[in-house]
Amino acid sequence: MAIEAPLPVLKPTDFASNQDVRWCPGCGDYSILAQMKKVLPTLGVPRENIVFISGIGCSSRFPYYMNTYGMHSIHGRAPAVASGLKTCRPDLQVWVITGDGDGLSIGGNHLMHCIRRNMDLNIVLFNNRIYGLTKGQYSPTSPLGKRTKSSPMGAIDNPLHPLSIAIGCEATFVARSIDTNIKHLADTLKRAAEHQGTAFVEVYQNCNVFNDGAWDYAKDKDTKADTTLELIHGKPMIFGKDRDKGIRLNGMNPEVVELGKGISEDDLLFHDEKSPEPTLAYLLSRMRYEDGFPEPIGVFRAIDAPRYDVAVNDQIDEAIEAKGPGDLEKLFRSGDTWTVE
Amino acid sequence: MSTVASKQVSQLEDATVRFCGDSGDGMQLAGTQLTNTSALAGNDIATFPDFPAEIRAPRGTKAGVSGFQIHFSSTEIFTPGDTVDALVAMNPAALVTNLQDLREGGVLIVNKDAFDKKGLEQAGYTDDPTEDGSLTGKYKFHSIDMTKLTRLAVEEYGLSMKEADRCRNFFAMGLVFWLYDRSMEPTLRFIEAKFGKKPEIAGANTAALKAGYHYGETVEAMNTQYQVAPAKLGPGTYRNIMGNEALAWGLVAAATLSKKRLFLGAYPITPASDILHELAKHKHFNVLTFQAEDEIAAMTATIGAAFAGEMAVTASSGPGIALKGEGLGLAVMTELPMVIVNVQRGGPSTGLPTKTEQADLFQAIFGRNGECPMPVIAARSPGDCFDVAQEAWRIAVRFMTPVMLLTDGYIANGSEPWRVPPLAELTPVEVKHPPGHDPSQANGNGDANGDEFLPYARDERLARPWAIPGTPGLMHRIGGLEKADGTGNVSYDPINHQHMIDTRAKKTALVAEDIPLQELDGADTGDVLVLSWGGPYGACATAVHRMQRAGKAVSHCHLRYLNPFPKNLGEILGNFKTILIPELNLGQLRTLIRAEYLIDAVGLNKVQGKPFSVAEVVEKIESLLG
C-alpha cells in the first residue's frame, strides 16, 4: 500500500454484526463467539480482510454474527469454499467454522483434503458430540452406546476423534480447547490465527439442549485438573489438582504415573509441538478420559510446511517468469496456422 | 520410381476418411495428423473421434476398437461425414465394426498381418474376409502386410518388436497421406517435437511414415491418387481447433479482457478433463487451476473464487453436474457470477462416458431443488466454444448469476478450422466492484458515501453489487438461507420469500433483453423449420441446405440461448407449418418448446452415443414434407 494510514484501533464490539444471535440460551457457542471477538482486534488485521466461512449446523450460523465478510455455505463444504477463496486471495485471513457433523460426517472429505494441502485457513470445529440443528441425532463423535432419537438402543458407530483425523491428514497445526475455559480458548484461537498453514482447533462445546453435560468431566472445576492436561511446549506433562501426576511413556504406550515415589519430572514425557514427526501429537490425541487419561488441551502440533495457497500463486509467477505474461495473440497463433488471402 | 507415372490423379470435392483399430494402435494420433495436414492444405474440415471408455480393452476385441473420422473438403462443411470414402482397418475387429459405414466403391485398406486365427475369432469371422473375395468386388480393396512392412522399415533403429509394431500407425498415415496427396511435413515436425529426445523412436516413426507413403506411390495396385482442393474460406489466419481447447481459450480470453484472474475448480471427468489440462498449461495468463477432491469441492471452491472476486469457472460432465447440484443452488442464492460447463456425455449414471448425447438439458435448466433459475447457453461446434465461453461470462457478470454452458463430447473432441480472431474483434466484459469507504476512518461501515451497504440492492437488470472481501466498509454475509431483499440478512418472512423467488426468476428472464434476436437460415415462413441446439447444428445445417437447394420451403433455426429463449423465438416458430426438433435425447427441447409456445413440435430423437448423420435429418424432413 502506498498510503500508510495507521490502522484504527478496534474493540470486540466492532466485530459484532447487527444480527441478533439466535443460539439457544446457555449454548457453548456464545462463549466461542465472545472469545473470537476478543481475539480478532489483537491481530492487527482489518475487518475487511477477514472472512468467515461455515457450512450447516448450529455452529455454522457464526458468520452472521461477525462484522466481517462471510459466507454461510452448504453442509460440509466450508473447507472447499474457503479453499477457492484463499487460492484466489492469499491476502485474506480466512476462518472456517464447522461442527462435528458438518466437518467430520458430510464434509469429511473436504476437511481431509483442505488439511493435507495446508491451505492457510483457521478451522474451528465445535465438537458437541450431537446433531443439534436437526434436534438430537448421534454424531460421528458421539460415544458408543449413546442413546439419541436416531439411536434409541444406543449408537453402534465407533466414534471419530477429530484431532486424530487432522493429524492423520498431516495437519501442521492442531490444538484443542474448551468453550468455558475462556482464557485458554482465546489464547488457542490467537495461536491458530498466527499459524501459517491450516490450523485445526477442536473446541469442546456444550449443547445444553440435546447433549447437556457431554464434557462435564473436562469442564467441572472440581474434576478438570485431573481430567485434562494442559500442553506446554518443552515442558513435562504434569496434571492433577496437586500437580502430582504425569504422563510417562512405557514402550510405545503412555501411562499415568504419580510423581514422587522414585519418579521425577525428568521421567515424564516432554511436550514438543515442533516435532517434525506427528507420532507424539497422535499419541496425545488418543488419550481419553474413559481410558483413564487426562485429555490434553492446548497446541498438540505446530510446524512449518509449504502452503498450497502460496505455492499455487508462486507457480503463476514462475510461469510468467518463464514464458512472459500471457499474450492472447501469441496463444491463438501457436502451433500450425495458415492464411487465406 | 517408374510406376509413379502410371498413377491417375482424381479431383474430389471432399473426402471422408476413417482410421480404426485397437485402442492401443494410435488411431487418434493418426486421425489428428491427417486433420492437421488437411487443415494446413486449406481444406475445411470436421472430425469425429470415437473411442471406447476403457483405456486398453482386451487386445483385438470389438469392445476395444477406437476410430477417428475426418471429413475434409474444398467447400464449406459442417459435419464429419455420413459415409466413409476410405477406411483403414488395423485388425478384424475394427473391420467388422466399421465396414458398414464405408460406401460401395470406397477405398478399404486393412492390415493383413492382424487377420490371423485369433484375430478373426475375436471379431466373430468364421472365414477370412480378406481372402474369401467378399471385399474385392465391392471396394477398392488393399490387403497390406503393414506389420511386416513396418518392421522392415524400422529395422535399422534396433527397436524391440513391440516398439517397432507401435510405429504401424505411422505407416498407415503415410499411406493415406499419399492417397490424398497430403504433405508429410506437419507430421514430421510433430515427430521431431514429440520424440526428438528419443532419436531411435523419432527415426523409426519417420521411416514408417515414409515407408507408407512410398508404398502407396510405388505399388501398382494403388492406381489412383485423390486431391481435394483448398476451401474458399474467408480471409484470415486459420488454425485447427478442438472444442475443449477452444472453450479453454475462450475462458482465458474472457478473463484476460475483463482483467480478472481465471479460477478453474475441476475434478477429472470424461469428456471434460481436457479443459482442465488445457487451462493448466496457461498459468502465465493468471490462470489458477484447482484440481479438487471431488465434484462438490470443485463447485464450492468455484463459489469461493467468485466470492473472492475472480472469474470463477467449473467444468464437468453430467454425473459431475449432478453432484454439483446443491452447490449450484448456493450459487443462485448468493447471486455470484460464475460459469459452469457441462460437456455432455451419454447418461444416465455413468452411462457412456466417451460417447456424445444431449440429454442434460433438463438437468441444466431444472436440476436443482427449489425454484432455482439459471441462464443456459450451448455451443454448436468446436470453434463456437470460444465465443460461447465469453458470452457465458458476459451474462454471468451483467446479471450476477451462475451461467450453465453446455457442450457435448462430439463438439469437445471434434475439431474444425478456426479463424484466429483479431484482438480488436473481441469485446471485453466490463466488471465493476463497488468501492468501499476510506479505510483510515475508524469503525466505519458503509459504502464510499458512508451509506449502509446493501448487498442485495439491485440495478436495472436486477443484478446485485459484486462487493469483494478486502473492501473497507462493505463487510457483508451471504449464504444459502433465504435473503431479505436489500440487506441480504436471513429472512423467513413469507412475503419476502415470494418476492425473492419472483425476483430471481425475473432476473433470469431479463437476460432475454440482453441477447441478440434469434436468426434464421432461410425464408422466415415455410413448411418445415428445423430447430436445433448444440452439436446437431452441423447435420441440421447441411440437411436444410440440401433441402433448400432442392427447392423445398425449409428453414433452419439454431439456438444458442436455451434459458431464457430469445424473445422473438415464438414469432419465428409461428410462421412454419411444422417445427422439427432433432436432438440426441428423447425430446427435451421439444418439451420446453411445447410448454413455452404451445406448439406441437415434432421430434427426431436418437440416443445411440453418436451424432446425427445428415441423411437421418434429410429423411425426417422429407417425411414431414410428404
Note whether residue A3 is domain-resident: no
Residues of A whose CB is below 8 A from B295: none
Q: A20 pLDDT exceeds 70?
A: yes
| Contact A217/B at CB under 8 A | no
Summarised one tens digit per residue, pLDDT across range B531-567 is: 999 999 999 999 999 999 999 999 999 999 999 999 9
pLDDT at site B444: 62
DSSP helix/strand/coil, B568: coil
Q: B442 pLDDT exceeds 70?
A: no
| Contact A73/B at CB under 8 A | yes
Output the average pLDDT for chain B: 95
pLDDT at site B214: 96
pLDDT at site B440: 60
| Contact A316/B at CB under 8 A | yes
Rounded CA gap, B11 and B177, in Å? 15
Angle between helices B146-154 and B168-179 (to 10 degrees): 100
Q: Which residues pair with B144 in a beta bridge?
A: B111
Side chain identity, residue B265: G
| Contact A266/B at CB under 8 A | no
pLDDT at site B58: 87
Summarised one tens digit per residue, pLDDT across range B243-256 is: 999 999 999 999 99
CB contact under 8 A, A71 and B475: no
Q: B446 pLDDT exceeds 90?
A: no
Summarised one tens digit per residue, pLDDT across range B211-265 is: 999 999 999 888 999 999 999 889 999 999 999 999 999 999 999 999 999 999 9
Give the three cell numbers for residue B492. 423467513
| CATH classification at residue A152 | 3.40.50.970
Query: Whole domain around residue A153: which residue ranges?
Result: 12-214+306-316
Band (pLDDT 50/70/90 cuts) for residue B159 is very high
Give the three cell numbers for residue B122. 475375436
Side chain identity, residue A240: G
DSSP A103: I
Q: B381 pLDDT exceeds 90?
A: yes
Measured in whole angstroms, the distance separating CA B268 from the mean position of its chain's CA atoms is: 16
Output the average pLDDT for chain A: 96
Q: What number of other Cβ atoms are within 10 A of residue A250's Cβ?
A: 8
Note whether residue A294 is domain-resident: no
| Contact A330/B at CB under 8 A | no
DSSP A32: H
pLDDT at site B443: 55
Q: What pTM was computed for the model?
A: 0.94
Select from A48, A73, A312 the Cβ nearest to the Cβ of B469: A48
Please name which of B437, B456, B439 lies closest in space to residue B447, comparing C-alpha atoms: B437
Residue in this structure with the C-alpha cell 481459450, named with its chain if needed: B249
Angle between helices A29-39 and A182-194 (to 10 degrees): 50
Q: Evaluate whether A313 touches A176 at the Cβ level (below 8 Å).
A: no
Note whether residue A115 is domain-resident: yes
Residue in this structure with the C-alpha cell 440460551, named with its chain if needed: A25
CB contact under 8 A, B479 and A72: yes
Select from B237, B327, B436 the Cβ nearest to the Cβ of A339: B237
Note whether residue A301 is domain-resident: no
Summarised one tens digit per residue, pLDDT across range A163-207 is: 999 999 999 999 999 999 999 999 999 999 999 999 999 999 999
Cα distances (angstroms) measured from residue B432 to each of B293, B305, B400, B467? 32, 16, 11, 9
* CB-count burial class (<10 Å; 0-12, 13-18, 19+) for A200: buried
Select from B42, B304, B476 the Cβ nearest to the Cβ of A81: B304
DSSP helix/strand/coil, B379: coil
Q: Evaluate whether B529 touches B570 at the Cβ level (below 8 Å).
A: no
* Complete domains list, chain B, with CATH: 2-228 (3.40.920.10), 240-425 (3.40.50.970), 434-515 (no CATH), 526-625 (3.40.50.920)
pLDDT at site A1: 42
Q: What ipTM is given for this predicted complex?
A: 0.97
Note whether residue A109 is domain-resident: yes
pLDDT at site B104: 96
Band (pLDDT 50/70/90 cuts) for residue B2 is very low
- As for how many domains chain A has, the answer is 1
Side chain identity, residue A25: P
- Tell me how close the Cα of A80 comes to any Cα of chain B, in angstroms: 5
Q: Evaluate whether B593 touches B573 at the Cβ level (below 8 Å).
A: yes
Note whether residue A162 is domain-resident: yes
Runs of H (alpha helix) within A89-199: 100-101, 108-117, 162-168, 182-194
Q: Mean pLDDT throughout B447-465?
A: 91
Note whether residue A121 is domain-resident: yes
pLDDT at site B1: 43
Please name which of A205, A201, A162, A164 lies closest in space to residue A181, comparing C-alpha atoms: A205
Note whether residue A149 is domain-resident: yes
DSSP helix/strand/coil, A299: strand
Rounded CA gap, B364 and B106, in Å? 42
